[in-house]
Structure 1
Amino acid sequence: MKNTGKEFMERTQYRYLDMSDQSMGYPQPELEKGVEDSDRIRDLPLPKSIEVEDMDLRQAIENRTSIRNYSSEPLSIEELSYLLWCTQGVKEVVRDVVTFRTVPSAGARHALETYILVNNVEELEKGLYRFLPVEHKLVEVDMGKDIADRVKHGCLDQAFVKSSAVTFIWTAVPYRMAWRYGQRGYRYLHLDAGHTCQNLYLSAVSVGCGVCAIAAFLDEEINPVLGIDGENEFVIYVATVGKK
């Protein structure tokens, strides 16, 4: 186990790659996880209708910092909708085979899913939701009273996971990326997560919020909380958001 990271980097070099499933004609994975007929779907305000403070990009970059302490002021549902759009918003769907979004992704594969733990958002019940980027809606995942405690425990009991207005939890569906890039695609999943979280940091400033990215979580604890198996889908990054 000592050299696991080094071995990963070596074994995902191009010279070790086999033919991808795409090159062999296998059908591509879905653009996003689906929903069941019994799932409860929540509409979100459309991004174009949301007004936010004009913010100079240089100022936002210079002032970017991680913030772990938040006020008790809730996020509005409009502000949450805006942050979801900034981090995984779909700008265009091309022939139902590719999406162009507000963040870059290797080969436009967009292998991330966005879950949110809602702690303090106007017009939304507390609980765990998943974002549907193509439709720009939310689907309820777990509305149990203990869900916030379970997520917090999976994040090494860091208190601000629960004291935030909302905690973003990004998962990766690796086959969406590996379908095109094989095992090297696992590298790109982490790059995509970084792009997405940086967009959250910068966009949050314009709605008076702070962000703290979290990479310290127990995979074997957090994945089951989301109802995912840790192999075909796994948590890759977490970030808290709240009013300053």
Structure 2
Amino acid sequence: MEKSVGTQFMQATTYENLNPSGQKQGLPMPAFELPYQTNVKMVKLPEPDMLAEKEVNFLELIELRTSVRQYHNTVLTLHDLSYLLWCSQGVKMAMPETGTLRNVPSAGARHAFETYVLINHVEGIPAGLYRFLALEHVLIEVNISDTIAQEITQAFLNQKMILSSSVTFIWTAVAERMTWRYGDRGYRYLHLDAGHVCQNIYLAANTLNFGACAIAAFNDEELNKVLGVDGEKQFAIYGACIGK
């Protein structure tokens, strides 16, 4: 009986089947952030130290965590968006020879994700697709066409909650950032890391009295194309809607 793709993947990424990683071969460490054009429109976000502290009952927060798929047309403030980005991918420290320390765990501090946000209702920001630059804590404009929300919704298999959300987070994985240290086993860690990030989004949204819903169902080729990534070196891995 032929083994499934999943079984083959798990066996191929056991330690005994791995080739030497880029790090073991002495290859340079990939950059912490993908390059971007400096002439694109930037949206400055409130700095992390300007964000209001949230006092929470932790046990209650954990117990009330749930997926919310129906939203009102409520506008997120710029502070709310900054808070959610900081809680999910905020960079606390960048160590040139090692990696970045962020507000979520990551295998080997590799933090291989780039964050995109589809904005529908955020105070002071035109609707459209943006990329979060975690090192600078700013957004850059990617696509503000009138059809971008519909294109992304279609790529997510027409899940209508994307259109009604205030903002939808989309994380892409930059594979080399992880495989440089762990070889092909790093693909396992990318998916584990995605779970860490999304759980922070759930909890952070709850402290703002907003709901969240993770989304893993999407047409990979279509979503990668809409985001403008190649689908191999960089590919969509997870998403989450946020709304009141």
- TM-score normalised over the length of structure 2: 0.97
Paired position in structure 2 for 1:44: 45
- Pair 1:83-2:60 in alignment: no
1:31–1:97: 8 Å Cα contact kept in structure 2?
no
Residue 52 of structure 1 and its aligned partner are, at CA, apart by: 4.8
Change beyond 3 A, Cα 1:96–1:136: farther
Paired position in structure 2 for 1:238: 239
- Pair 1:198-2:199 in alignment: yes
Paired position in structure 2 for 1:170: 171
1:214–1:238: 8 Å Cα contact kept in structure 2?
yes
Letter in 2 for 1:240: C
- Pair 1:10-2:11 in alignment: yes
Secondary structure, counterpart of 2:171 in structure 1: strand
What is the alpha-carbon distance in structure 1 between the residues aligned to residue 62 and residue 165 of structure 2?
22
Letter in 1 for 2:79: E
Per-residue CA distance 1:108-131 (angstroms, 9 max, x = gap): 000011000000000111000000
1:52–1:207: 8 Å Cα contact kept in structure 2?
no
What is the alpha-carbon distance in structure 2 between the residues aligned to residue 201 and residue 160 of structure 1?
16
Letter in 2 for 1:183: D
- Compute the RMSD of aligned alpha carbons: 1.2
What is the alpha-carbon distance in structure 2 between the residues aligned to residue 80 and residue 164 of structure 1?
13
What is the alpha-carbon distance in structure 1 between the residues aligned to residue 99 and residue 222 of structure 2?
32
Per-residue CA distance 1:36-65 (angstroms, 9 max, x = gap): 132111110012211154211111110000
> Percent same amino acid at aligned positions?
51
Could you tell which deviates more after superposition, 174-183 or 30-39? Answer: 30-39
What is the alpha-carbon distance in structure 2 between the residues aligned to residue 161 and residue 97 of structure 1?
36
What is the alpha-carbon distance in structure 2 between the residues aligned to residue 202 and residue 176 of structure 1?
26
Paired position in structure 2 for 1:159: 160
Number of equivalent positions? 243
1:87–1:102: 8 Å Cα contact kept in structure 2?
yes
Per-residue CA distance 1:47-103 (angstroms, 9 max, x = gap): 221115421111111000000011111100100000000000000112365210000
What are the ranges of 5 or more consecutive residues in structure 1 without an aligned counterpart? none
What is the alpha-carbon distance in structure 2 between the residues aligned to residue 64 and residue 86 of structure 1?
16
Paired position in structure 2 for 1:210: 211
Letter in 2 for 1:164: S
What is the alpha-carbon distance in structure 1 between the residues aligned to residue 64 and residue 119 of structure 2?
26
Q: Structure 1: which 4+ aligned runs deviate by more than 4 Å?
A: none
1:118–1:167: 8 Å Cα contact kept in structure 2?
yes
